[in-house]
A and B are shown apart, each in its own frame.
Chain A
């Protein structure tokens, strides 16, 4: 199934857990919404395209000939980068999963600080109520570094249950 990871590396832990979220919520009968990820990819790849055009112009034309285009390109690169930064820090804000089922919706944001194995999870539902909780990563990884998806699934199932009970 999954590959073993180095459980002493915080970024590895976070990434593996983040990437496991879609499967967990699929089992919980949620359908993933890709709006945030797609927006991010579109902004990101337009930055890459701008840089690529600039690079090609630099190869094809002389400096003076391309100067006007390059000014426009460097300007748009700066603006797009600012938009990307804003999107990351103020709109996405660590949201790793967005999903919905019949009348429910769920937004999952996660965070992990360096040298800390606690996976900080923020759940928000369609009504806007929020619950913050912590998953110690050592409870869902085994010693070899394999993620125990069943344990992770159960943990989320429990949390969601109590979350919806509380919300009611």
Chain B
């Protein structure tokens, strides 16, 4: 019966998608960051980072230093922001670190960007990760894919096709 043959072929397709996703999940557990690789979307950190740079994050450090480039998310906004730590202080009672950030290319600090009435970020809660490395420009591919739904579908189709057609 050929059901087993079809199931085996379909399994190869599943493996292609599963391995990519599980690698991503594994990486996010190791780095303790929900998105360990991000792409710079704005020019607010020029000339350090340009739009399209890929950043690698690490979130297992307990405290950040002034000058660290961190990625944070504001409550209810899904877009990660890459900016530099301008000031930090540790709350004596709770022992938790509070950070103020600013984009290198921006005139002022980030308080207007934070959620309502917040004048600082919580290191523990708001920070996605600290930038530890980057690849210039390569992220333009992902910007192109995420801003263009046809490119997205095309890429998914390509992965699926290559899994179906390769029988090595």
Smallest Cβ-Cβ distance to A38: which chain B residue: B4
Q: How far is the CB of A75 from chain B (nearest CB, A)?
A: 9
A63 to B127, CA, bound (A): 13
Say whether, besides A11-B167, A11-B168, A37-B4, A73 and B11 are in contact (CB < 8 Å).
Answer: no
Q: Does A71 contact B (CB under 8 A)?
A: yes
Is the CB–CB distance between B5 and A19 below 8 Å? yes
Smallest Cβ-Cβ distance to B12: which chain A residue: A44
Say whether, besides A12-B167, A74-B25, A74-B29, A47 and B18 are in contact (CB < 8 Å).
Answer: yes
Q: Does A91 contact B (CB under 8 A)?
A: no
Is the CB–CB distance between B15 and A47 below 8 Å? yes
- Interface residues as binary, A48-62 with B (CB distance below 8 Å gives 1, 0 otherwise): 101110110010000
Which A residues are in CB contact (< 8 Å) with B21?
51, 54-55
Which B residues are in CB contact (< 8 Å) with A63?
28, 34
Interface size class of A (residues with CB under 8 A): 20 to 34
Which A residues are in CB contact (< 8 Å) with B168?
11
Which B residues are in CB contact (< 8 Å) with A47?
14-15, 18
Q: Secondary structure of the B side of the interface?
A: helix
Which B residues are in CB contact (< 8 Å) with A74?
22, 25-26, 29
A67 to B166, CA, bound (A): 35
A73 to B166, CA, bound (A): 28
Smallest Cβ-Cβ distance to B32: which chain A residue: A67
A143 to B145, CA, bound (A): 44
Q: Does A163 contact B (CB under 8 A)?
A: no
Is the CB–CB distance between B18 and A51 below 8 Å? yes
Which B residues are in CB contact (< 8 Å) with A15?
167
Q: Does B146 contact A (CB under 8 A)?
A: no
Knowing that A47-B14, A54-B25, A63-B28 are A-B contacts, what are 19 other residue pairs whose CB atoms are under 8 Å apart, sorted by A's residue number? A11-B166, A15-B167, A34-B4, A37-B4, A40-B8, A41-B8, A45-B14, A48-B11, A48-B14, A48-B18, A50-B18, A51-B14, A51-B18, A52-B18, A58-B25, A70-B29, A74-B25, A74-B29, A78-B26
A-B contact pairs, 7 of them (CB 8 A): A11-B167, A38-B4, A45-B11, A47-B14, A48-B15, A70-B28, A74-B29
